[in-house]
Structure 1
Amino acid sequence: MRKIFGIILTPIHYIFFGLSLLVFHPLQWMAYNWFGYTAHKRVVDALNWCLTASYYCLGNTVTFINNQNLPLDRSIIFIANHQSTYDIPPMIYFLRKYHAKFVSKIELTKGIPSVSYNLKYGGAANIDRKDQRQSITELMKLGERMKANTWGCVIFPEGTRSKDGQVKTFQSAGVAAIMKRCPDALIVPIAIKNSWKMVQWGAFPLGPFNTMRWEVLDPIDPKSGTVAEVVLKAEEAVKKCLGQ
């Protein structure tokens, strides 16, 4: 029965989601080229509010919990588990005051309305997984932008999405590259729960009636250990929050 509802509701979601991407693409271009970074960011925030709202077309709900008193005058590296592409819009919207930039595959910078434009011009690190030197260089450039602008960033250190919600081992290389240029960035874990259920049957039908949750966990002092030790603490915190 759940899958039948998915078949019925998925087209409604995709129409809302797709129209949001198409409508906001020219708005991004105008904001960035005519008014600059701040206007562009506001458009991107509004886009991701709409994308997040599209989840409700499937009967899914989004709960974003942030009870942490995080500084606005310090760069932050948000370290999260990764379950699906649907992890991202709520994080962009609810972390908007931290100017959180994403580490993304370079392939996504082409061909996707709104998404590709934002990745190119919004300050993200777009890495080529086949070129380690390019990846490290791009991450260090992100660290420089974070330090210069007091931005945050989001990184998924598992390296790939979890198809069943089980947290994979966090890798520290990406975080280490960012911290080479932004060594004082605060480390903040985020635990994501149940977004994988939206894509448990693939792109069609999407999974309906799921309660999805994002929870910002206690920050970790970057000087409390080596980068590898700090990333391990983040992994353990995420797993504990998810009961794994």
Structure 2
Amino acid sequence: MKRLFGIILTPIHYILFGLILLVFQPIQWVCYCVFGYRAHKYSVDVLNFFLTSSYLALGNIISFTNKQALPLDRPKIFVANHQSMYDIPPLIWRLSKYHAKFISKIELTKNIPSISYNLKVGGGANIDRKDQRQSITELMKLGARMKENNWSTVIFPEGTRSPNGNVKFFRAAGIATILKKCPDALIVPIAIENSWKMVRYGAYPLSTFEHLKFTVLEPIEPKSGTIEEVVLKAENEIRAFLGQPPAVDTRDKKQETRQE
């Protein structure tokens, strides 16, 4: 039934999604070039509110729960599991007060209305996965901007999307690089549920009447252990919340990665 409704409603969603991107391309340009960073950030926040609202055309709803008293006077690294591209607009919108920047593939900085422009000027990190030196440099620049401006970032340490909602092992390298330039950033896990179900049938049809859930979990001080221990703790907080078995230790993670 969800697939059947998806055949009917997916085109409506895509039309809305595309129109929103086209409308906000010139709005972003004017905000950034005429009024500067704050106006541009506000336009991006509104953009992602509307992008998130376009999920409603599929009968899908989004809930975002944050019961943590997160400080506003220090940067944060939001560490989340990754299930689909539909993770991103709700996170940008609901984390807007923390100035959360994203780490994206450099390929996305071209030819996508609104999204590419924001990636170029919004202050995040655009990395070339084929160029390790460039990737490290970009992450260090992001860490420096976070420290200087009290910004935050969102990182998906799995490195790829989970097609079935099962959390993949988290890699610590990217977080470690950011912490070198922004050592006081608070580590904040976020558990994402059911985003993968929207694309369970592929790009067409999208699934309908799903409930996407985003839950901010207990933050972790970066100095409470080694970076590997801290990232493992964040991963296991998310796994526990989602009812999935814990990852054991970093050695097991490395072995599993080699087997993949």
Fold in common (TM above 0.5): yes
Q: Which residue identity lines up with residue 91 of structure 2 in the other structure?
A: M
Partner of 1:98: 98
- Secondary structure of 1:223's match? helix
Q: What is the distance in 2 between the residues matched to 1:2 and 1:194? A: 14
In 1, Cα distance between the equivalents of 2:153 and 2:139? 10
Shift of 1:99: 0.1
Aligned to 1:125: 125
Alignment match, 1:242: 242
Give the match for residue 13 of structure 1.
13
Aligned equivalents of 1:2 and 1:14: distance in 2? 17
- Partner in structure 1 of residue 222 of structure 2: 222
Quote the sequence identity (%).
69
For 1:94 and 1:164, the matched residues in 2 are separated by 24
For the residues of structure 2 that align with 1:173 and 1:184, how far apart are their CA atoms? 17
Cα displacement (A) at 1:243: 0.6
Matches within 5 A, 1:1-244: 1-244=1-244
CA distance in 2 between partners of 1:49 and 1:72 (Å): 22
SS class of match (1:7):
helix
- Partners of 1:231 and 1:19 in 2: how far apart? 38
Q: Distance in 2 between matches of 1:119 and 1:193?
A: 25
Letter in 2 for 1:155: I
- 1: CA distance between counterparts of 2:82 and 2:230? 18
Kindly provide the amino acid, as one letter, of the partner of residue 187 in structure 2. I
Q: 1 CA distance for matches of 2:6 and 2:150?
A: 41
1:73-119 Cα deviation digits (max 9, x unpaired): 10000000000000000000000000000011000000100000000
Q: Secondary structure at the match of 2:222?
A: coil
Whole-angstrom distance in 1 between the partners of 2:118 and 2:217:
27
Code of the residue aligned with 2:10 in structure 1: it is: T
CA distance in 2, matches of 1:38, 1:154: 19
TM-score (norm 1): 0.99
Give a deviation string over 1:117-143, Cα, whole Å, max 9, x none. Answer: 000000010000011111011000000
CA distance in 2, matches of 1:2, 1:86: 17
Q: How many residues align?
A: 244
Tell me the secondary structure at the aligned position of residue 87 of structure 1: helix
Per the TM alignment, residue 176 of structure 1 is displaced from its structure 2 partner at its CA by: 0.4
Distance 1:20 1:174 in 2: 32
Q: 5+ unaligned residues in a row in structure 2: which ranges?
A: 245-260
Structure 1 segments (4+ residues) deviating >3 Å? none
* TM-aligned CA deviation for residue 2 of structure 1: 1.7
Paired letter, 1:235: E
Gaps of 5+ in 1: none
